[in-house]
Amino acid sequence: MTKRATIVGGGVIGGGWAARFLLMGWDVRVFDPDPEAERKIGEVLDNARRSLPGLSDVAMPAEGKLSFHETISEAVAGSDWIQESVPERLDLKRKVYQTLQEHCSPDAVIGSSTSGFKPSELQGCATRPAQIVVTHPFNPVYLLPLIELVTTEKNDAALIERAKDIITSLGMFPLHLKKEIDAHIADRFLEAVWREALWLIKDGIATTEEIDNAIRYGFGLRWGQMGLFETYRVAGGEAGMKHFIAQFGPCLEWPWTKLMDVPELTDELVDMIADQSDAQSGAYTIRELERIRDNNLVAMMRALKTQDWGAGALLRVQDKRMMPAEPDLLKPIVTVSRAVPLDWTDYNGHMNEARYVQAFGDGTDKFMEFVGCDEDYIANGGSYFTAETHIRYIDELNAGARIRVETICVLGEGKKMHLFHQMFEGDRLVATGEMMLIHVSLKTRRASNPAPHIEEKLAKVAAAHAALPRPEGIGRAIGVIGVKA
């Protein structure tokens, strides 16, 4: 059965909603008087198509059909969900709802993207107030899962449950606020931080970059995976949340902030916070929470490292700082020396087979850099492509194991580069990886000879390594190993 959503207002938020619905298999109808709406939504959709499917390890639904309409009456016909994302003017929103409700199905959910208005304000002049709820998203809507679903006593239980089900089916999380408040929950936090940041700038304490660095290199990473109270529960140690409040609660009375209207930490409030924290996180010990936190932080920071951004950019700089000196060509070249990170292990508790490929690939990259095929060379149009790989998994590795990849250049002449990697933990051989690479022109995408300085360096390394003992396994095809019962 075809599901249909209508987007009223196709700006950044409306375009994000359109992309989320469309890529989750819904047909989407858009109404926006802006003559550039189709182009703008198309550009948002291009970004969503590039990124959203990467969150899933299974096939996405078939993309729905997108259409643009000149009237609200035409756009809302037959829609199950109507998302209003017009500018934050209450009079405009109410006018839109009156038009919507003249033409839409009485059973359709009408959600508002408003970041500030309460649902009771939106329902004020509506023909059917029970149909209208706040469904406040976060940008980019096609990636971030949180939806603040704010309702009033006028919304019946069946509509609320249907709204929750639809939001969940889109891969999003409906945070249901049963008691309305201006700006809901999340934006009130953001507003408090924003106001404090403005004072820090005005008073000459910090720059915009320094404030952003304070967030992205510190508590922003912790909040990104544990939120506020679970983070503070861990900070309280084995004594828990009550201990944290007793230790740091008095700070709220100190004149640190411009926002000094702070609730009194009565025994009743402390008990309420501690009880809710127990219900939220009490199933885990503090040590377990610490390990969960550490796992998440490593995964997040490593993801940032691949993008060379935020805390990940710091990690890249530190890696370069710790790089070894020029290698001795009379020995295999150590191209990787590192610990197995937490996110490299699988359901068997040992290093995932794909990570061996990654480690050997990292070794190849480092070898390429050593012979002169570095970032500058690649930027100027030359590189090596892997043509064939053979990996032998000899023994298992666990998270934290310190591995070393030693690389031998078996052949380095013309367009070809033949490498043999051996992975060790201490003296224990755990895997080998053999790779044949071909030099290519990135302009023609065809095989080509490398630059003279690379050809010369590669020949020098290959000649030196020809004198080394030949490791067992070079040139081996897949072998059949007998398994005893």
Q: How far apart are CA 129 and CA 423, in angstroms?
A: 66
Residues 6+ apart with CB under 8 A from 147: 135, 136, 137, 167, 172, 173, 174, 175
User: What is the C-alpha to C-alpha distance for residues 111 and 109, in angstroms, rounded to an integer?
Assistant: 6
**Would you mind telling me the total number of residues written for the chain in this entry?**
485
474 is in an annotated binding site: no
* Residue 64 assigned to a binding site: no
CA atoms of 305 and 320, how far apart (whole Å): 13
Is residue 249 marked as binding? no
Distance (Å, whole) CA 333 – CA 312: 27
User: What residue has token string 């370069």?
Assistant: 320
Q: Is 477 exposed, middle or buried (0-12, 13-18, 19+ CB in 10 A)?
A: exposed
Which residue type does 328 have? D
| DSSP helix/strand/coil, 4 | strand
C-alpha angle 383/384/387, rounded to 5°? 150
Is 9 marked as a binding-site residue? yes
Q: Is residue 13 part of an annotated ligand binding site?
A: yes
Closest Cα partner for 452 from 443, 439, 463? 439
Asked whether residue 116 is marked as a ligand-binding residue, the answer is no
Q: How far apart are CA 24 and CA 54, in angstroms?
A: 13
CB–CB of 88/115 below 8 Å? Answer: yes
Binding site, annotated residues for NAD(+):
9-14
Binding site, annotated residues:
9-14
